[in-house]
A and B are shown apart, each in its own frame.
Chain A
Amino acid sequence: MPTYADIQGTRAAGRTADAQPDRVTMRLLIIEDDRDAADYLVKAFREVGHVADAANNGEDGLAIALDGEYDVLIVDRMLPKRDGLSVIGTLREKGIETPALILSALGQVDDRVKGLRAGGDDYLPKPYSFSELLARVEVLSRRRGTRNEETVLRVGNLELDRLSHQVRRGEEEISLQPREFRLLEYLMQHAGQVVTRTMLLENVWDYHFDPQTNVIDVHISRLRSKIDKGFSQPLLHTVRGAGYMIRDGAR
């Protein structure tokens, strides 16, 4: 779990701390029995420009989710009246594919696997930071119809070819290690969105544990030195208190 101090201490953080993600308003449903936590989330999501509703138990949550049009569901694992996994399972049975993020106090590896197997799309153990939750929810909301199928990803004059594994910035060919390539690929798939360190560790390295030290930051700074060095317009930005984002700042 990254700390604020880690982020502040990151190289080049000051340079890009003002980077703002491309934010599109989302409609969210928060199914959480702890009213304080639910209120806090509703307020926090509204502050960043999203619309959020809350339900306090599984039955209500299921009913509301069936009625309304939501971009992402945030579902607590343990709920009164109906378990969070059962809510998601029922929705999936009825053909409703709204992405769902599971919040759980359990936080163990097999628990995460169970959650994803039950139809959840992402999993976040409690306690979580809001920036982490926000980043994951934004990625989930845009997952449908994303750039997963595109063979060439572009951000500004940076171009990544997923078939030939070639990366160019403008005219210049950039040579990357396999892992650096996957790191950049993941960032570019979510261009304009904040990507947290844990998301990178999960999706690029396939690890779900906390590596104690901020190993990811060092990888990012290496990548940054390869794609941004020597260019006046940086593309890889550090988002204070949250993670990283790749975007064309010139737009």
Chain B
Amino acid sequence: MTALGKLFRTTTFKLTLVYLTVFALFAAFLLGYFALNTRRLITEQITDTVNAEITGLSEQYRLGGIRRLVLVVDARARRPGSSLYLVTTFNGDSLAGNVTALAAGILDSPGWTETVYRRLDEAESANRPEHEALVRVFQLPGGFRLLVGRDLEERERLYHIVLAAGRWSVAIVIVLGLGGGLFVSRRVLRRVDAMTETTKTIMAGDLSERLPVAGTGDEIDRLAQNLNAMLERIEALMQGLKEVSDNIAHDLKTPLTRLRNRAEQALRSAHNDAEYRAALDATIEESDGLIRTFNALLMIARAESGQAREDMSEFDAAEIAHDIGELYEPLAEEKGIALKVEADAPAPVKGNRELVSQALANLVDNAIKYAEPQAGAVNGVAPEIVVRALASGDRIMLTVADTGPGIPEADRAHVVERFVRLESSRSQPGSGLGLSLASAVARLHGGELTLEDNHPGLKSVIALPRGGPLQSAG
């Protein structure tokens, strides 16, 4: 497509054309109406004047006969700018007046006629009679005829001026309109072309590109800004996906390798049933661990994709705090940790009860793992975990506070990511996905998971908007 062809196809240009046509038609109509009315007005004036003169002259004739009429007509005809007069006898001989060279047969038909004429005082020029007039022929008693008329030059001139003005204004409207249309279309086209170019780069795989924003705040800018926000989100998702696949590759391959090694080892060196059995038991244990990791990953992916938003209902977060506390209390006690639940007031919230329970369970599970008193450690504080649920403003806070070693501030944002376990805790069992899952669940609900210092220990807070995700996430 040629550049011009492309220009002509733009919406802006097409719109300009439509407007142009409408305006031109309107201007033409307006001027035409004006011209016609002017013409009619002038004609009316002429007929009024002529009628008045005829009335006056026939009065003169009635009073003084033909002689008087001839005298009056002669006198009037000589005045500058006078009307046109002609008085004839019954058979058409001229008695008085200032016109000649009338169209043939004019005098035979009484009433209004348009005719060519020439004034008597004008030289009979080479060209034919050049004037036009509107005349009225009047039959006087006694066979005389009286013709009175006015020149039409003025009317024609005005008419032509208006016509010319009309033609010019339409032409100017078209030229300016086309020019303006082309200018605006080109501007818009240039910006859209720039956006198209960027989009092509993005489609080719460079997700870091952004659409140009002119800064004018117009609709194209707003579109570009929204598309940019969308790209931002897509890029983040792609980045997340990449990290997930990297992490999966790393963290699933490790246990898979162990699994394989163990089976191989058993084949090579097991001597009796008991040893084979032990190897098989270990294999099953290892695969159960893998399945667990895999399930957690799927759950996170599902929470992050927002699918689980369909299963949301109203439930009491305080009840969940009690339930999960009750579920883990024996385990904590067995490990010498006091687990307390502080959730006295109801904290109603809209969400996925199962997922929120699981998120809280993960936090408690983590807390038990890390708050476990280690030999010779724990700054003289009796290990304790407190689970709280409280409503604060339009949010519900589910808090798990432990007195364990805590997490250094610099690492806190980091540990929420998938699979990340701090180096110092690599020896602990677990898939390392507990915090990631809790964080994904919080975000699914339009809330967030934050990690704070419990002085000493770690305080994990799941904050959820009461009304569910739509209220805050939009």
Contacts of B292 in A (CB 8 A): 1, 210, 212
> Which of A3, A179, A213 interacts with B331 by CB under 8 Å?
A213
**Would you call B264 an interface residue if the criterion is a C-beta within 8 Å of the partner chain's C-beta atoms?**
no
Contacts of A219 in B (CB 8 A): 327, 330
- What are the 4 tightest A-B residue pairs by CB atom distance, in nearest-first order? A218-B330, A209-B358, A3-B285, A3-B288
Contacts of B302 in A (CB 8 A): 108
Contacts of A125 in B (CB 8 A): 295
- Encoded as 1 (CB less than 8 Å from any B CB) or 0, chain A from 104 to 141 comes to 00011110010000000000010101000000000000
A-B contact pairs, 9 of them (CB 8 A): A1-B292, A3-B284, A3-B285, A3-B289, A107-B295, A209-B299, A215-B327, A218-B330, A219-B327
> Which of A1, A5, A209 interacts with B281 by CB under 8 Å?
A5
A109 close to B308 (CB less than 8 A): yes
Contacts of A209 in B (CB 8 A): 299, 354, 357-358, 361
- Encoded as 1 (CB less than 8 Å from any B CB) or 0, chain A from 160 to 192 comes to 000000000000000000010000000000000
**Would you call A40 an interface residue if the criterion is a C-beta within 8 Å of the partner chain's C-beta atoms?**
no
Taking the nearest CB of chain A, how far is it from the CB of B436, in angstroms?
13
Contacts of B331 in A (CB 8 A): 213, 215, 218
Taking the nearest CB of chain B, how far is it from the CB of A194, in angstroms?
17
Q: How far is the CA of A5 from the CA of B280 in the complex (A)?
A: 11
Contacts of A207 in B (CB 8 A): 327, 354, 357-358, 361
Contacts of A205 in B (CB 8 A): 323, 327
Residue of B nearest to A217 (CB): B331
> Which of B330, B357, B434 interacts with A215 by CB under 8 Å?
B330
**Would you call A208 an interface residue if the criterion is a C-beta within 8 Å of the partner chain's C-beta atoms?**
yes
Task: Choose among A108, A125, A222 the residue with the greatest number of B CB atoms under 10 Å from its CB.
Answer: A108
Q: How far is the CA of A210 from the CA of B289 in the complex (A)?
A: 11
A4 close to B285 (CB less than 8 A): yes
Taking the nearest CB of chain A, how far is it from the CB of B174, in angstroms?
64
Which residues of B291-314 are within 8 A (CB) of A?
291-292, 295-296, 298-299, 302, 307-308, 310-311
Residue of A nearest to B357 (CB): A207
Taking the nearest CB of chain A, how far is it from the CB of B279, in angstroms?
12
A4 close to B281 (CB less than 8 A): yes
Contacts of B295 in A (CB 8 A): 107, 125, 210
Q: How far is the CA of A125 from the CA of B308 in the complex (A)?
A: 17
Contacts A213-B365, A218-B334 given: A1-B291 contact, CB under 8 Å? yes
Contacts A215-B330, A219-B330 given: A110-B358 contact, CB under 8 Å? no
* Given A108-B302, A222-B330; 15 other pairs, CB 8 A cutoff: A3-B289, A108-B299, A110-B307, A113-B311, A125-B295, A127-B291, A129-B284, A207-B354, A207-B357, A207-B361, A211-B327, A212-B362, A213-B365, A215-B330, A219-B330
> Which of B281, B288, B368 interacts with A213 by CB under 8 Å?
B368
Q: How many residues of A contact B (CB 8 A)?
A: 28
B308 close to A211 (CB less than 8 A): no
Contacts of A208 in B (CB 8 A): 354
The number of inter-chain residue pairs (CB within 8 angstroms) is 78
Q: How far is the CA of A4 from the CA of B358 in the complex (A)?
A: 23
Contacts of B430 in A (CB 8 A): 212
**Would you call B326 an interface residue if the criterion is a C-beta within 8 Å of the partner chain's C-beta atoms?**
yes
> Which of B311, B365, B368, B431 interacts with A109 by CB under 8 Å?
B311
**Would you call B328 an interface residue if the criterion is a C-beta within 8 Å of the partner chain's C-beta atoms?**
yes
Taking the nearest CB of chain B, how far is it from the CB of A12, in angstroms?
14
Residue of A nearest to B434 (CB): A212
Q: How far is the CA of A212 from the CA of B334 in the complex (A)?
A: 17
Taking the nearest CB of chain A, how far is it from the CB of B441, in angstroms?
11
Contacts of B352 in A (CB 8 A): 109
> Which of A2, A107, A113, A211 interacts with B298 by CB under 8 Å?
A107
Which residues of A185-240 are within 8 A (CB) of B?
205, 207-213, 215, 218-219, 221-222
Contacts of A110 in B (CB 8 A): 307-308, 310-311
Contacts of B310 in A (CB 8 A): 110
Q: How far is the CA of A207 from the CA of B285 in the complex (A)?
A: 23
B326 close to A179 (CB less than 8 A): yes
Taking the nearest CB of chain B, how far is it from the CB of A183, in angstroms?
11
A215 close to B328 (CB less than 8 A): yes
Task: Choose among B289, B291, B311 the residue with the greatest number of A CB atoms under 10 Å from its CB.
Answer: B291
Taking the nearest CB of chain A, how far is it from the CB of B132, in angstroms?
94
> Which of B288, B354, B368 interacts with A1 by CB under 8 Å?
B288
Contacts of B308 in A (CB 8 A): 108-110
Contacts of A210 in B (CB 8 A): 292, 295-296
Residue of A nearest to B302 (CB): A108
Contacts of B288 in A (CB 8 A): 1-3, 129
Q: How far is the CA of A158 from the CA of B334 in the complex (A)?
A: 26
Q: How far is the CA of A117 from the CA of B365 in the complex (A)?
A: 32
Residue of B nearest to A218 (CB): B330
Contacts of B368 in A (CB 8 A): 213
Q: How far is the CA of A212 from the CA of B298 in the complex (A)?
A: 15
Q: How far is the CA of A218 from the CA of B430 in the complex (A)?
A: 18
Contacts of B328 in A (CB 8 A): 215
